[in-house]
Structure 1
Amino acid sequence: MDTDRGTGTDPLMARARLLWESLAGVPVSFASRGGPTVVTAPASALAPPGWLGTVLLGDAAVVTAPSDGVAHTVRRALTGVATPSLTDPGAVAGVLPVAEVLGPATLAYLSGDAFRPSPPGAGATDRLPPGHGDLVRLLASVSEEDAGECGLDEITSPAFAVRDGGTVVAAAGYRDWPHGTAHLCVLTAPHARGRGLARRVASAATAHALAAGRLPQWRARPAASRRVAWALGFRELGSQLSVRGVQSPTIS
């Protein structure tokens, strides 16, 4: 993970931070000193409703809490936690009551000059509209966890797909996020994995996003997904963790 570049000299980091500041739902900014910035943000998009959401980018983190009481508890608890550990479930569980976690997921971004597309000989991709029946069938062929993780059913861009015997076995597209961000969504059927198809379809979707002037974002937990992003030139700038179970303190 790249944590050494500050926003003053790194436009990619600046754009990523601007995105997540807007998703917090309240005025907030990433501060590089003095621990995480913890704010009360019931409508935050950093986590599911009622959860604690943490996004770490570079050497700074923003944490959104569903209430003032939870925010107060979290500020006190995270005082002694090193910034790089703020999205480590074990470190967070050591200082806060945790019932459930989502993540951590790495956050990677791509500038046009760093893009490494699939080689020309990798093969062409089909272009399908969002919600196409072949995409629905691909989603139905994988586990519920894989289907939810990939987000292919939420794309707003065209889907770029590879077929095997007429059946779509890999597809990628992106969902439009705020501030011109393209959130990449990639899925390969289990029996077709390990053949470079994820890179091929993701390359086509990424090229489409860059041509439209968008900032490609890759959010991933599995190591295999992170390797695909790296192969295309994405740079890991941070990570995200969501926590359920932190409650407001009881006042007697």
Structure 2
Amino acid sequence: MVVSPASALCPPSWAGIVVLGDAAIVTAPTESAALVLRRALASVPVDSLTRPETVRAVLPVSDVLGPASLAYLSSADFRPARPQGAVEHLTSGHPDFQGLLRSAAPEDVAESGMEEITSPAFVVRAGADVVAAAGYRAWPAETAHVCVLTHPRWRGRRLARQTSSAAVAHALAAGLLPQWRARPPASRRVAHSLGFRELGSQLSVRLKEDPFDGARG
């Protein structure tokens, strides 16, 4: 349990729970929230910490995000996508890449994480327009958090696999460990097709205010 108001595991003022194998970390926005979480979660088995129904049963939760699966890939397990067309490398500030971000729904862009990539953007075009892109954000411990976005009109054409395969190859060549975070089944299928193995899960929870006040008292 860690008190971390600026935790990247969850939205601001929320609590973040990550389970990897038989270990877990919980970040709390305040000391009082940590006290509530510690008392409530102490008796919950690790493999149940990211199950919304379990957490709701022991905590006063007003909202949840997730769970999302966490999958990882070694170079030995990597199954690159078969080439289906040209994949270009663009800078994250390139106007054509930014055009994709502007044309997609804001919630899709936020879910993808593409606005935060630190790698090049690996893109596929339809004519002059970028219709799919992938990249990764460098995280601590030499981890590459893979991000993927396909325009809604171009989904179902294996473009996510094509662009993410290029991003993963770039991360592995840089000596990084690719990480794939996904909630939608379609995204999880793309990760599995590339060789990712699901090793953990993530859940974010927003606690009701009343228990915080009681904890302070």
Q: TM-score range by the shorter chain?
A: over 0.9
Matched AA of 1:200? Q
Moved more, 215-224 or 44-53: 44-53
TM-score normalized with structure 1 length: 0.80
Please tell me whether residue 206 in structure 1 is matched to residue 168 in structure 2: yes
After superposition, where does 1:57-206 map in structure 2 within 5 Å? Answer: 57-120=20-83, 122-206=84-168
Q: Deviations over 1:99-130 (max 9, x none)?
A: 2222211111111111000124x222111111
Structure 1: segments with no counterpart, 5+ residues:
1-37
User: Where in structure 1 do 4 or more consecutive aligned residues deviate above 4 Å?
Assistant: none
CA distance in 1 between counterparts of 2:60 and 2:163 reads 41
How many pairs are equivalent? 214
Look up the SS of the partner of 1:219 in the other structure: strand
- Aligned counterpart in structure 2 of residue 248 of structure 1, from 182, 188, 212: 212
Matched AA of 2:146? L
CA distance in 2 between counterparts of 1:85 and 1:249 reads 27
CA distance in 1 between counterparts of 2:88 and 2:35 reads 51
CA contact (8 A) 1:162 1:169 kept: yes
TM-score normalized with structure 2 length: 0.92
Please tell me whether residue 238 in structure 1 is matched to residue 209 in structure 2: no
RMSD of aligned residue pairs (Cα, Å): 1.6
CA distance in 2 between counterparts of 1:139 and 1:218 reads 20
CA contact (8 A) 2:117 2:136 kept: yes
Tell me what 1:25 maps to: none
CA distance in 1 between counterparts of 2:169 and 2:61 reads 40
Higher strand share: 2
Matched AA of 2:14? W
Structure 2: segments with no counterpart, 5+ residues:
none
CA distance in 2 between counterparts of 1:65 and 1:154 reads 23
Amino-acid identity (%): 62
